[in-house]
Structure 1
């Protein structure tokens, strides 16, 4: 081989080695970039989770406030219903909502094996009718250990769209939990005796700011008196609440849904269950 040929081969070898080195370096840089992105995403998720838990803790303090603990009723004039709001922090947006779960229909009254609550069964039928949902026979619920309303999807004939429409109005609470007429929304009140969805909406719009002092005051209120509404299963207070926290960082979103109980005779709350999802996954809640 001539001297020029040897130089050519050497040059090609150098170019090949350089190209290989560049490929290796590019691969390492890509791996490093992906690792950094993964670490940044993990840190962002950690930041969002911590922000959500902090917001939950602050909201829980509203449920421990004296105005609620010392009151005989739970109503929308109290701090828990008015001071949970949106907050904008640097690079982060928080939205907090508190709901009285006592304002929902308690499914436990349908599944208790020791009692047949005929009033609750009739109200259940009327609730489904008000929502335009085919009747779900309470007998099909007997023997089921309910811990979450979403378990209704296991029943035959329950359609996904019907379940999505139903879930915002029902809860699984202890059997003794009464329906709080001070916070119950119109579709739930429409399940009461003699009530229609239209009359229930009118009742909600005229409900006293401080709520009703007792169930008798409710049954004697304009729009209710004379309908024959039974006080069975009704109340004006509650110990069960849901705190929903939505956290936004840029296009990333996280939702924390926590169910809490106000412990009787104390100013403490305890978390019954807590779950973190995307807003889309819990849109039916």
Structure 2
């Protein structure tokens, strides 16, 4: 090979080496960029979780205010029902919702060993009918430890769509927990004896701002007296609440759902469980 040919081969070799080097460097830069983005996203998620936990703590303090604890009833005119953060974080959106879980149907009443009481069974059947959910058998879960409504998926005929329709209306509370008629929705009130969807909506619209003093006052209220509503399983108080916090910063979003309980022997609320969910997800945890 003459000298010109040797120079050509050398030039090609140099170009190949440079191309390979550029390819390797480009790959390293892309990997580094992805690592930085992943690290930034992780830090962002950690910050969102910290803000969500802080908002949950604020909601817990709101529920523990001395004035609230002195009241004998839980109703929707109390400050917890329309929470508003005292201050805002620049560039951060925080939304808080507090729900009285005693305003839901207590599934535990149907899961105790033995046969459930007829009144609860009939109310359950009316709830499923109102939600257009086919009846399904809870017998296989009776007497077992059920800690989350997502466990209903173990039952034949219960799919994800059915579960998502049912979950906003049910809770797993201690057996003694009663349906709080001061916070229950029209859908839940319509499960009571003699009630229709229309009369339940009227009952919600006419419900006293400060709620009813007891279940008997509710059953004797105008428009409800004479319907034959049983006071069994009904109440006006609650020790169980759900705090839902949605936090957003830029394109990042996070939702925290925390269930709280106030033990009988304490004025302080304790966290039963926390779940971090996608912003549009139902009650099933990630």
TM over 0.5: yes
Unaligned runs of 5+ in 1: none
Matched ranges for 1:83-102 at <5 A: 83-84=83-84, 89-102=89-102
Aligned residue number for residue 10 of structure 1? 10
Distance, in Å, in 1 between the alignment partners of 2:237 and 2:119 is 20
> Which sits farther off after the overlay, 241-250 or 258-267?
258-267
Unaligned runs of 5+ in 2: none
Matched ranges for 1:1-285 at <5 A: 1-84=1-84, 89-113=89-113, 116-282=116-282
Are the structure 2 counterparts of residues 23 and 253 from structure 1 closer, same or farther at C-alpha, using a change threshold of 3 Å? same
> Which sits farther off after the overlay, 93-102 or 24-33?
24-33
Q: Secondary structure at the match of 2:135?
A: coil
Q: Secondary structure at the match of 1:54?
A: helix
TM-score (norm. length: structure 1)? 0.92
Cα offsets for 1:7-46 (capped at 9, x unmatched): 3333223222222221221111111111111111111111
> Which sits farther off after the overlay, 226-235 or 144-153?
144-153
Per-residue deviation, 1:260: 0.5
Are the structure 2 counterparts of residues 245 and 15 from structure 1 closer, same or farther at C-alpha, using a change threshold of 3 Å? same
Per-residue deviation, 1:178: 0.9
Q: Secondary structure at the match of 1:89?
A: coil
Distance, in Å, in 1 between the alignment partners of 2:14 and 2:254 is 52
Cα offsets for 1:115-148 (capped at 9, x unmatched): 6322111111111122222223454542343212
Q: Is the 8 A contact 1:121 1:138 kept in 2?
A: no
Q: Is the 8 A contact 1:147 1:172 kept in 2?
A: yes
Distance, in Å, in 1 between the alignment partners of 2:218 and 2:97 is 26
Are the structure 2 counterparts of residues 19 and 95 from structure 1 closer, same or farther at C-alpha, using a change threshold of 3 Å? same
Per-residue deviation, 1:280: 2.7
Are the structure 2 counterparts of residues 160 and 170 from structure 1 closer, same or farther at C-alpha, using a change threshold of 3 Å? same
Per-residue deviation, 1:99: 0.3
> Which sits farther off after the overlay, 108-117 or 192-201?
108-117
Matched length: 285
Q: Secondary structure at the match of 2:26?
A: helix
Q: Is the 8 A contact 1:67 1:79 kept in 2?
A: no
Runs of 4+ with deviation above 6 angstroms = none
